[in-house]
Structure 1
Amino acid sequence: MSSPASPEKLPNAPKSQRGVQSIHRAIGLLRTVVSNNERGISLAALARECGLHVATARRMLGALENEGLINYDSVTKLYHLGIELFYFGAAAYQFQMRDRYRHALERIALRTEDTAFLLVRSGNDALVIDRVEGAFPIRTLTHEVGQRSPLGMGAGSTALLASLPEKKIHSVIQANKRRYAQYKNSTPEDVWQLVEHFREHGYSLTGGVFIPEAVGLGRAVHDASGEVVAAVSVAAIKQRMDPERREMVAEIIKQEIEAIEKPNG
């Protein structure tokens, strides 16, 4: 018996069948993005792996992107998972993290009166999965929930990067080096300086990466085995982040994270 024809070869199929075929194609594209999310995947590679014409793949990927299911990086020309998939997977690991550390984020925002963020690593990016605003009148909203940035750009993002093994840090910085220029014309050398600061002080410190005159401070979050699973950062206007207050904010973040990690936390 002959094998079924591929969707590309059934232009005269009934309308209802074409609709089903389109769903199968879209799911196939989505699965391929999922399996290549760590590094990202190009349009040509997606079309090839899914057996689609490039124009068909581009059209369907555009629809998936419009729905937030995938994300296209215009600099690297690669596709990654979109934030909507994380919303759909509310029971997924990242969102267990969000639920677990929500109280810590609220406490940090309450005690510092500034905005607190929770980020996780997604390939060579940092992904913001939660944000709590503080009471200080001038809000420093450097990120939206669902926003991506290259690892090494931003306080939480730097904490995630600096906590990786040395070889992996080199790999990530190499992969992101062209993207860094979009952020204050940053270079790989600038990112290494941020990594060194984290290693020396135990927290990251960045300034003006997303908003001029804004300063961010971040710490890594570890699981029971000591592996880094997330980062918490606080953003404030520059005038509120003098050296003495930086140490205070870093200590507050540490205390609230550790309180959650206690067995009865």
Structure 2
Amino acid sequence: MTRKQSQVEPDAPDAPDAPVSGKQPRGTSGAVQSVDRAVSVLESLARHGEAGVTEIADELGVHKSTAFRLLGVLENRGLVGQSKDRGKYYLGAGVLRLAGAAAVRLDISQEGGPVCRELADELGETVNIAVLDEDMAVNIMQARGAASVTAQNWLGRRTPLHATSSGKVLFAQLPPVLREGLLARTLPRFTAHTITGTTALRAELEAVEDQGFAVAVEELELGLAAVAAPARAHDGKVIGAISVSGPVFRLTEENLPALAKRTVAAAAELSRRMGHGF
């Protein structure tokens, strides 16, 4: 496919680059400066949503023709687009392509490590990151706080979606056909508090979507309570859940709302690390 050609305004000479010490190939400093300016254009559009040539030129401190040339190159690459009615520029679909390629390489367990450790140190409880594994949730990252030194090891353990806080988060985000298929199954009951009825569980999952977090109190094991929130990829898709778990005498009904708020904040930070919100 032939790239579209931008109509470029007549160039005006830019101020010459300052001399660069050391031995560099001719034109190297100018090329680096152009790359730096192009990145600055993208960052500017990310902040403002859209901007005209004059606005971008003013922000970069360059001549209008230089800003026009930069925008032309970025538009040819699909990294920016131009509104035909107002002439404003905005980030193009090519940015999503690059973001997607980068996000694939971001390992949620690696990026989640610092988030888990900080949250565990702050709350003193066990913090896990779980991802979907067919019809189960599997814990791929764990950090323990000072108060949870005797807690069992959840790392690598597969847990049912309907009976855990992380599982409910992942369950709620399944495509409707898959979610309804699982709801139609006969689900195992682990304690008297496990939600197994289709109507009750569907209502529970709808509540998870509405409030942005899930709670499980003695649904998998007696004496165990947990709260979890979704972690998202760059495109907003839920790719995991971060949870805080501990004994019911510490994770009480009174402090669960505050704990949920902090867990949601940690999930937002993990999502940011995974490229969400940029």
Aligned twin of 1:128: 139
- Superposed, 1:8-27 pairs within 5 Å as none
Aligned twin of 1:231: 241
- The one of 227, 238, 250 equivalent to 1:217 is 227
Unaligned runs of 5+ in 2: 1-103
Q: Give the match's secondary structure for 1:180.
A: coil
Aligned twin of 2:188: 180
Flag the 1:198–1:140 CA change in 2: closer, same or farther, 3 A. farther
Aligned twin of 2:115: 104
User: Over residues 202-242 of structure 1, what are the superposed CA-to-partner deviations in whole Å (9 max), with x where a residue is unaligned?
Assistant: 21111113321211101111111110000011111112223
Aligned equivalents of 1:205 and 1:198: distance in 2? 8
Task: Report if aligned partners of 2:191, 2:221 keep a CA contact under 8 Å in 1.
Answer: no
Aligned equivalents of 1:150 and 1:126: distance in 2? 6
Provide the aligned C-alpha RMSD in A. Answer: 2.7
Aligned equivalents of 2:274 and 2:118: distance in 1? 17
Please say if 1:116 is aligned against 2:124. no
User: Which entry has the higher C-alpha Rg, 1 or 2?
Assistant: 2
User: Over residues 140-179 of structure 1, what are the superposed CA-to-partner deviations in whole Å (9 max), with x where a residue is unaligned?
Assistant: 43x62221122222010111111223333112222xx334
Please say if 1:248 is aligned against 2:241. no
- The one of 197, 202, 205 equivalent to 1:192 is 202
TM-score (norm 2): 0.54
Aligned equivalents of 1:173 and 1:264: distance in 2? 30
Aligned equivalents of 2:107 and 2:274: distance in 1? 17
- The one of 119, 124, 147 equivalent to 2:157 is 147
Aligned equivalents of 2:270 and 2:164: distance in 1? 24
Percentage of matched positions with identical amino acids? 16
Flag the 1:140–1:191 CA change in 2: closer, same or farther, 3 A. farther
Task: Report if aligned partners of 1:111, 1:252 keep a CA contact under 8 Å in 2.
Answer: no
- Superposed, 1:83-102 pairs within 5 Å as 96-102=107-113
TM-score (norm 1): 0.56
Task: Report if aligned partners of 1:217, 1:235 keep a CA contact under 8 Å in 2.
Answer: yes
Task: Report if aligned partners of 1:180, 1:188 keep a CA contact under 8 Å in 2.
Answer: no
Q: Give the match's secondary structure for 2:205.
A: helix
Choose between structure 1 and 2: higher helix proportion.
Answer: 1
Flag the 1:102–1:138 CA change in 2: closer, same or farther, 3 A. closer
Residue 137 of structure 1 deviates from its aligned partner by 5.2
Residue 94 of structure 1 deviates from its aligned partner by 10
User: Over residues 182-208 of structure 1, what are the superposed CA-to-partner deviations in whole Å (9 max), with x where a residue is unaligned?
Assistant: 454642334334313313422111111
Task: Report if aligned partners of 2:191, 2:222 keep a CA contact under 8 Å in 1.
Answer: no
- Superposed, 1:3-82 pairs within 5 Å as none
Aligned twin of 1:63: none
